[in-house]
Amino acid sequence: MKHFPVPDYHIHTYLCGHASGQPYEYVEHAISLGFSEIGFSDHAPMVSHRDPTVTMAMDELPLYHKMIEQVKEKYKDAITVKVGIEADFIPGYEAQTEKILQAYPYDYVIGSVHYIGDWGFDNSDEQEKLKKLNINDTYRAYHKLLRKCAQSGLFDIMAHTDLVKKFGHFPTEDISDEIIATAEIFKECKVAIELNTSGLRKPAREMYPALATLKLFFQHGVPLIFGSDSHRPQEVGMDFNQAIAAAQRAGYRECLRFRQRKIEEVVSLV
Ligand SMILES: [Zn+2]
Ligand SMILES: [Zn+2]
């Protein structure tokens, strides 16, 4: 059987309101692909507002942990299942976010910027706004938030670090100064980035981040993990061969495994 040397750390559950299937189906698909480790990282309860189609609710958090514990135990001889979470970075709500993240133990916490102000820029219902704004300014505002997200100290891994491109809107000028500033902060704050394959399934038709951005992160010594951002069982590990090849093209030879919010192992990609 084909064996995947790297774990898939970005997997959702139906609790977020926009994913399908049961956790065991995600786990069984991972086993069938030859994964020896995966991690769930569903959308943590939103601190700024409540939207049952975007994240789990506060009172669903115990069920999330129970569900993951169950599959972890059930499949322990076949695969290691880690417990992670993907939490939004909303400036001004750091204390509330921290409280949620401290309520349960995690193997890793993924920090995400899905909002610029109260604009959910990656929500298909709100994408019209992208056309009205200067796209380069939007990328710059997004990078500013990415840096604040890392500097908050709340997160171990930074998610999909060029998500603004999701609907196919790319910068029209060179923004490598922003990317370099972000890479420097990520290195300083000791956060990893993820290479997220879900962008291939979106109008952007490329992974998050783009290869040129990934190269800059590598050159600044920012460590890497891999994520499929699965919202359906069959998306687990999707395009991971392509992702590993892209990481190697960017210069990466290793990725990380996490346990209890610490680096457990540096895994060779070759
Ligand atoms: Zn989601
Ligand atoms: Zn996300």
User: Helix, strand, or coil here: 228?
Assistant: coil
Closest C-alpha among 223, 227, 229 to residue 255: 223
Residue carrying the six token digits 């399908």 = 20
- 23 CA to centre of ligand 1 in angstroms: 15
**CATH numeric code, 8-268:** 3.20.20.140
Q: Tell how far CA 139 is from the center of its chain.
A: 18
Domain ranges of the chain: 8-268
pTM confidence score: 0.97
pLDDT at 38: 98
Mean pLDDT (10-residue bins), the chain, 270 residues? 84 97 98 97 92 93 98 98 98 97 98 95 90 94 98 98 97 97 98 98 98 98 98 98 97 98 95
- 19 CA to centre of ligand 1 in angstroms: 7
- 178 CA to centre of ligand 1 in angstroms: 26
pLDDT at 17: 95
pLDDT at 50: 82
* SS3 annotation, 122-133: CCHHHCHHHHHC
- 270 CA to centre of ligand 1 in angstroms: 30
One-letter amino acid identity for 19?
A
Handedness of CA 226, 228, 230, 232 (dihedral sign): negative
- 128 CA to centre of ligand 1 in angstroms: 20
pLDDT at 87: 98
Inter-CA distances, 174 with 86, 170, 191, 212, Å: 29, 10, 25, 11
pLDDT at 2: 61
pLDDT at 192: 98
pLDDT at 254: 97
Q: Do the Cβ atoms of 132 and 237 come closer than 8 Å?
A: no
Please tell me the number of the ligand nearest to residue 53's CA. 1
- 200 CA to centre of ligand 2 in angstroms: 14
Peptide bond into 105 cis (omega under 30): no
